[in-house]
Amino acid sequence: MLKKSSPLALLTLLAAPAVTLAQDRPALPLWELGLVGGAISQQAYPGADEQVNRGLVLPWFVYRGEFLRADRNSLGVRAYKSRDVEVDVGVSGAFGSSADDIEARRGMPDLGTLVEFGPRVTWKLGEAAGGRWRAELPLRGVFDVSDGGAGRGLAFEPELQFERAAGGGWRYSTSVSAIFANRKLADTFYGVAPQYATPTRRAYTAESGLVAWRLSTTVTRALTPEWRLFGYARLQSVAGAANRDSPLVRKTTGGSVGVALVYTWKQSERRAVD
């Protein structure tokens, strides 16, 4: 998702995959309810030369129904599942921010709160090197709820993931992904309309194609049955990106880090099917 590294990532969406990984064992509860609190320092958007720092405490909810799922980065409906392949239709999103908070975008329209909706194919590749490999292929429409649900384009982010348990109760996940956007979505982030051009920011029309490469790592550890620690780091690069020449791109490589503490308040006695 393009906006996961834009001004404010939704902390619960970042924590969701870590919570799932930390509890990756048979007979998980059908649902869990609790709180997640943490802090994030992230690159404002791929190519930005500024960091955005946030701290949040939010409720989180996991539901592992046969069809309805609130798990692993999204909220949606699982349409198909076999031993190796799963197809779901999901929703995810992230908060927006004021353009005045980012010097490169000052005076331009704000980046609104975006919601994504669309299908995702997950392909389980098997076990190797002491862990499990998985590929995810999400294709989603992007909509701006700050602007009456106006369409902002399409995003595609193929991702290769590796998960493994380590010593001392730690588990980790690493992934490599690439983000692609159509012209409309790319222009939302990298386009500069003529009326927003300045002596130091020329007018620019964005192109469809590669937005950024990403290398991500998450680590988790169960401290008690109710408390879990979560850490997150991401390195992303716009090297070779379609809009590398946009005046809004000021840095080729940037990073994001986050830490969170997850508390499970309630969980169901009933176990999930998978």
pLDDT digits (tens, 9 = 90+) for 113-125: 888 889 999 999 9
Q: How confident is the model at residue 11 (pLDDT cuts 50, 70, 90)?
A: very low
* CA distance readout (Å), 256 to 18, 32, 43: 16, 28, 6
Q: Which amino acid is at 178?
A: A
* Predicted local confidence at residue 200, as pLDDT: 93
Domains of the chain: 2-267 (2.40.160.40)
Buried b (16+ CB within 10 A) or exposed e, 101-125: ebebbeebebbbbbbbebebebeee
pLDDT digits (tens, 9 = 90+) for 55-102: 889 888 888 887 787 765 556 788 888 999 999 887 877 666 677 788
Residues 6+ apart with CB under 8 A from 163: 21, 24, 131, 132, 134, 171, 172, 173
Predicted structure pTM score: 0.83
